[in-house]
Structure formats: C-alpha cells, structure tokens
Amino acid sequence: MIGIHDIHRKLAVIVQMNTDEEGILHMDSVTIMQIIPLLKKNFELVWKHDGLKNLALEAQVLGDMRWVQEVCEQIEELELQMS
C-alpha cells in the first residue's frame, strides 16, 4: 500500500497557501522555484517505484521467485518511506 509521501504533503501545502477563495491557484516565480525540486523528487520516486514493479513482473514471468522476493522487498522498503 502506498501512503502519502512528504513530497506530496509539501506540494499540497504550497497549493493551499497559493489558492484564493474562488479556488484559483496563483503562483509567482518564488512559488514555482519551491515546486520544481519537489516535482523532480516526485518524478524520481514514481520512476523508481514503477521500475521495481516492472522488474518484479519480469522476474515472475521468468519464474525466478527468489528474484521476485528480492525486488518485492525493495518495493516494500520504498513504500514504507511513503507512509
């Protein structure tokens, strides 16, 4: 199970702080500079998670259950960081 990562919480706070009463998001250059590193980290997190899921599927297709277990352990470790 994937929880909410700190990156997602930080992005949510930035959006909340920059949204007006009508629900319109206003971002100046300072806000954008705060968001860019978080978006990059989010990309890396998603890329790694998806890569491990695909690797586990490949290991399963090949019938290498030991490899599947190793990859699944890595997925679990990553997901624990996301709670």
Domain-wise residue ranges, the chain: 6-80
Q: Measured between alpha carbons, how far is 75 from 56 in angstroms, rounded to an integer?
A: 9
pTM: 0.77
**Count of Cβ atoms closer than 10 Å to residue 35 Cβ:** 17
Residue 4: pLDDT band with limits 50, 70, 90: confident
Name every residue whose Cβ is closer than 8 Å to that of residue 49 and which is 6 or more positions away in sequence. 2, 75, 78, 79
pLDDT tens digits, residue range 37-81? Answer: 999 999 999 999 999 999 999 999 999 999 999 999 999 998 888
Q: Measured between alpha carbons, how far is 42 from 65 in angstroms, rounded to an integer?
A: 30
